[in-house]
Amino acid sequence: MLIDMQSFYASVEKAKMPQYKNRPLAVAGDPARRSGIILAACPLAKAKGVSTAEPLWQSLQKCPELIIVKPHMQEYIEVSTQIMSIIEEFTDLVEPYSIDELFADFTGSMHLFGNDPIDLAKQIQDKIYNETGVYARAGIGENKIISKLCCDMIAKKAEGGIFHLKKEELHLHIGDKPIRDMWGIGSRMEKHLWKMGIRTIRDLANTPLSKLRSKWGVNGEVIWRVANGLDHSPVTVNTHSTQKDIGNGMTLPRDYTEAWEIEVVILDICTEVCRRARKKGLMGSVVSVSVSGADFDHPTGFHRQVKLSDPTNITVDVCKIAKRIFHQHWDGQPVRRVGVSLSQLSNADTYQLSFFDDQEQKRAIDQVMDDIKDRFGDIAILRASSITAAGQAIDRASKIGGHYK
C-alpha cells in the first residue's frame, strides 16, 4: 500500500482546533517575511479554489473567509512519526516516502487481519483517524509503483479513499489519463512526449522501450516501467538510512545586495551544516554552494562545487571554501536564496593531520560551541556576525525546515 494523508498539515491543525471543522482552513508561511505561500489547504478550502503553493493573497481573493494558520513543523513531524507507529502495528515493513506518505508491505502479515486488503486498509484508516484526527487514503497494488499510481490517480478521488488496483486492470483505470498525471512526468518531459505523439499513459506504455532508451537512456526505461506498472524494488525500512550529503538552504527575508550580507548568511549556514555533520560523525570532501536571484521571471544565480584535498567538517574551513565559490561566481545581482552542502561523506574518526594549519585547535573550538548549544540551545553562543542585520541564525533557531516549530 501507499498510504497518504489528506491535506496533512491542515488536517493536523483542524484536529487540534475543532471549532474550524466546518470552515475552510489553510496553512501558510509568514506574509511579513515574504513566505506567504499556501503549504496545505483543507478540502473545504480547495473547493473554494485555494491551491497549494499559490501566494496567500491570491487565496484570500478566492476565499475571503479562509482561516490562515502558521505552520507548526515540530507537531507535523511528531504526528507523522505517530502515524508510522500505527502502521507498524500491522506490518514491520514500513518505508517513509515523505512526511505524509508511506509505503507498507503486508504480504507477510495479511493473514492476521482477515486477508482482505480493502478491509485492512479501512482498519488502518480508522485507527489513524481515531488517534490523530487525520484522514488517510490508501492505494493498493502488487508493487510500489502500482500502489503509488493507484493512490494518486484513483484512491484520492474515490469515495472512502481506498482502492485496489490489480496489475491486469492497470490501463483499464488509468490508461486514458493524460501523461502529465503520471508520477514522474513534469511539464518539460510532457512537452517532449507530446512531440513524439505520446499523449496518454497507455501511449507511453505501448511505446517501444528501445525508442525511449535511445532518447533518454535509463530515464526512458524508468518512465516506461512506471507506465507499465513494473517495479521489483522491495519496501525496506532502511531505504533512506544512507546519507549522501548534509546541506541547508534558506530563503532570505529580503533581497540581499551586498557581498558582506551574503557572507554572513553563508557563515550561518556553514555553522549549521558542519554541526550536523559532526553530530553524525561525518566529514565531507565536496563543498557545494547555490545562490538564487530575486527575480523568478529572469532567473539569476548559480550552483557550483569544489572537491577538497582532504575531507573536513570544520566550520571555518568549509566557510572559507564556500565564500571563495560565492565570490568566483556571483554576478552581483540581488540574492533571494542561499544554500551550502557537504557531500562525498566519510567517517570522521580518521582524518589527515597537517604541519601547516592547527586543525586540532579549530576542532576544539567547534566542539566547545557544539557542547554549549547542545546544553543551552542553538543561540546560546553565536558569532558576532550572526547578530548583524544580515544574520539569520537567531531566526532559524526557532524553525524546522525553514518553518516555525
Is a pLDDT exceeding 50 seen at residue 34? no
pLDDT at 9: 95
pLDDT tens, 300-331?
899 999 999 899 999 999 999 999 999 999 99
Q: Is 116 annotated as a binding residue?
A: no
What digits encode the pLDDT tens for the residues 47-91? Answer: 999 998 888 888 889 999 999 998 898 899 999 999 999 999 999
Residue 317 annotated as binding site: no
Residue 150 lies in a domain: no
Task: Give residue 277's pLDDT band: very low, low, confident or very high (50, 70, 90).
Answer: very high
Q: Are residues 2 and 96 in the same domain?
A: yes
Domain residues for the domain of 211 are 171-227
Tell me if 138 sits within 8 A of 6, measured CB to CB: no
Question: For residues 265 and 269, what is the distance between their CA atoms, to the nearest angstrom?
Answer: 6
Q: Which of 114, 115, 9, 139 is nearest to 68 (CA)?
A: 9
> pLDDT, tens digit, for every residue of 98-129?
999 999 999 999 999 988 999 999 999 999 99
Of the listed 13, 65, 75, 101, which one is catalytic? 101
Is the domain of 379 the same as that of 256? Answer: yes
CATH number, domain of 329, equals 3.30.1490.100
What CA–CA distance (Å, rounded) separates 11 from 148? 21
Tell me if 377 is assigned to some domain. yes
pLDDT value for 321: 97
Q: Is the pLDDT of residue 239 over 90?
A: no
Tell me whether residue 375 is in a domain. Answer: yes
Mean pLDDT of 172-189: 92
Active site residue 263: no
Q: What is the pLDDT of residue 19?
A: 94
Residues 6+ apart with CB under 8 A from 48: 24, 62, 63, 66
The reply to whether the predicted model has a pTM over 0.85 is no
Q: Is the pLDDT of residue 35 over 60?
A: no
Of 31-35, 53-57, 145-149, 266-270, the one with minimum mean pLDDT is 31-35
Number of domains composing the chain: 3
In which order are the strands placed within the sheet that holds 67-69?
38-41, 25-28, 67-69
CA 289/CA 54 separation, integer angstroms: 27
User: Residue 143's pLDDT band (boundaries 50, 70, 90)?
Assistant: very high
Helix axes 218-227, 144-153, angle to 10 degrees: 60
pLDDT band at 229 (very low <50, low <70, confident <90, very high): very high
Residue 39 lies in a domain: yes
